Structure 1
């Protein structure tokens, strides 16, 4: 599965599912106080946020999927990528035996049904040095002395983005960044994505183009996955991105958990994670 390196105001973290800023992140976190009523909390949280219809001013920057690496880092990035990505993928075993897959070439019902456990175990380099390892919880920080995956597409968070990045200054309604198809078990981000696809999908809407009625329609259509057909929704394929909120406080999440609010950026490492599971017998 894909793993992303994120630079935040409190350091480097790793995540594998999604980053979110805007109304959906607010619904998720602010509805925690209704947790006792189960998933209905999202309904009440959505109503509250739609009525309030807050705008989220800031800048979204991204490196398009087809963009090439600039400058002298090209050869270095190629070398590092070849060291970090593991080539070995075990073949599926008989029913009941352990299946180990280091990334997937394409989505299949068989593999997705059988994946029951995952962790971010970054592979060993060619010289035998173990890369930084992170467990399945969000916010895993890098300890000093550990080797980490290279991030040649990103500048330091304190520096401007590279010149081949696209920058969008706007008042956003939501920015959802994911490498998988779903934000929840019944909520789509984009149907094109799948585990191990190697692409960041940026799905965003601008506040000045979005009415409250649009938001009600959006929440309904996200359950079906056809919300990306709405005129207010933009879908971008990228290798890296940066979110720079203009406000001093707010809610920003990685893999559904809050992180300190402020600028953050991330770059994808295709198929760097490993998924373990058992093949289930079909009845």
Structure 2
């Protein structure tokens, strides 16, 4: 017996069609006779190649017109639950319980349940069946993750806490995750919490926020005496509850809090490149991007226009575009791949599905090691010998990205990879024709920016940039305003760890 008839009616949302007998293939390691569990007289559960199929024959009674008595027939309903959506299954008190994420609308999911009576004579077989079901549903993903959740109550126009408790926590609880949630109270609070976190008590630290909390969490872990170990051991997950949710779009492929929660439950850990930024006497870690020029000003210089929503960025961009604003600077870059065709080939070679964690930035440094040493020194040190400082008096946009999406539908860096040890760098002159610049703005949406001839796209391992010609302006590090002064960056391959949907690349179309 199911807990609700509506659960079976949702089968079309979960799967276009129930698998046929040919499609219900025996999963690896299972004998043919072990793929189906029959409970009661009318219900069967079958382990298919990619989903659990539940068939339930319900008796239907009709009154016959031409004779006395009642005629009984049966109607079969079928529910197909993709393994990715299955949260948990267990035998308890003579009941088999199945909990899964049921689609609601186009982008969200919610917890649904089905219950079946299991007799004493069937309990052992049912327990074996459930264990195999969980194996198929979780694969390489860790079950019952221990999750430290940080909720920014100011995120998403103050809706982050409501989104978490309504859409996220029920999914984590249904998957039997161990949850320790905490609400941040001030800017920098997440950094303080992460810096004091017991890394042996949790598997995941989840940020229910925009991109601000992931930035704070990474830098908090980076302040620990054993920073390299902490960044490798604690996986970062992002639940998109803010105005900027780039991390979730990259690693989860969604801006939905409930779908991101499902990705946390079913995701696998994967190393993530991090970038050390040195500015003055400060060293910080970046996971997303660094910008100087029109992108930084269009973002940070329009804070007073937040009422416009995402349109404020376009407005700020056009205002500066029609003014042909330039941002003079001196720039030195350590180029690793400088040709676009070679970048495409590199992307294809590196995005074929490897889930290896080799090449972590803290590898070999020991459990007590802090952050890895800086190969290129700091911004205050002499320039590395093989770097050349070049004047760019007409710089329009300097944009370095560690991820592909900078916002929903803003795939600035289609060749970006989570763990190739390289930053993707775009530089564009500020004196290009206005029509060309508008084409570039549109090209971000349609994915053609990379191939435009006026876009200089390189893969690099480090750089130093020195603003000049003005005393004040905007520099953005992961969307946060940084002092308007010289800074230097270098990549640490696989220093961080994330919960990733695919385990080896970002959830973008990538390079053709």
Is residue 158 from structure 1 mapped to residue 380 from structure 2 by the alignment? yes
Q: CA contact under 8 A between 1:9 and 1:260: conserved in structure 2? A: no
Q: Structure 1 residue 30 and structure 2 residue 301: aligned? A: yes
1:149 to 372, 381, 392: 372
Q: CA separation in 1, counterparts of 2:317 and 2:499? A: 35
Structure 1 residue aligned with 2:367, among 106, 121, 128?
128
Pair 271,52 (structure 1): closer, same or farther in 2 beyond 3 Å: same
Kept in 2, the 8 Å contact 1:64–1:165? The answer is no
* Cα distance in 2, alignment partners of residues 255 and 26 from structure 1: 14
Per-residue CA deviations over 1:143-176 (Å, capped at 9, x if unaligned) read xxxx321111x23323441121243311200000
Task: Work out which of the residue numbers 195, 198, 204 in structure 1 matches 2:421.
Answer: 198
TM-score by length of 1: 0.68
Q: Distance in 2 between matches of 1:193 and 1:250?
A: 27
- Asked if 2 retains the 8 angstrom alpha-carbon contact of 1:107 and 1:195, the reply is no
Q: Per-residue displacement from partner, 1:4-53 (whole Å, max 9, x unpaired)?
A: 11101251111111100000111111222221232122222222121222
CA RMSD of aligned residues (A): 2.6
**Structure 1 position 257 matched with structure 2 position 504:** no
Larger relative contact order, structure 1 or 2 (CA cutoff 8 Å, min sep 6): 1
Given that residues 332 and 463 in structure 2 are in contact (C-alpha distance below 8 angstroms), is that contact kept between their aligned partners in structure 1? yes
Question: Does 2:403 match 1:180?
Answer: yes
> Aligned partners of 1:172, 1:56: CA distance in 2, in Å?
5
Query: Would you say the 8 A contact 2:362–2:371 is kept in 1?
Result: no
Decide which of 433, 437, 442 is 1:211's aligned counterpart: 433
SS in 2 for 1:195: coil
Give SS of 1:272's match. strand
Within a 5 Å distance, the mapping from 1:52-201 to structure 2 comes to: 52-65=323-336, 106-107=350-351, 126-129=365-368, 131=369, 147-152=370-375, 154-170=376-392, 171-201=394-424
| Residue matched to 2:321 | 50
Distance 1:45 1:21 in 2: 14
| SS across alignment from 1:270 | strand
| Bigger helix fraction | 2
Uncovered stretches (5+) of structure 2, i.e. residues with no partner: 1-271, 339-348, 503-512
Q: Specify which of 427, 449, 454 is matched with residue 232 of structure 1.
A: 454
What is the distance in 2 between the residues matched to 1:38 and 1:159? Answer: 41
Which of 257, 267, 273 is equivalent to 1:2?
A: 273
Q: 1:278 to 1:181 in 2, by over 3 A?
A: closer
Gaps of 5+ in 1: 68-104, 112-120, 132-146
1:174–1:278 distance in 2 versus 1, CA, 3 Å = closer
Query: Deviations for 1:52-105, whole angstroms, at most 9, x for unmatched residues?
Result: 2211001111112279xxxxxxxxxxxxxxxxxxxxxxxxxxxxxxxxxxxxx9
User: 2: distance between equivalents of 1:230 and 1:56?
Assistant: 21
Aligned to 1:74: none
User: SS of the counterpart of 2:437?
Assistant: helix
Q: Which deviations, in whole Å up to 9, do the C-alpha atoms of 1:207-236 show, x marking residues without a partner?
A: 23x122221111110112211222211011
* Equivalent position SS for 1:250: coil
Q: Deviations over 1:79-138 (max 9, x none)?
A: xxxxxxxxxxxxxxxxxxxxxxxxxx95479x9xxxxxxxxx985855430x4xxxxxxx
Q: Which TM-score applies when normalising by structure 2?
A: 0.39
Q: How far apart in 1 are the matches of 2:386 and 2:460?
A: 12
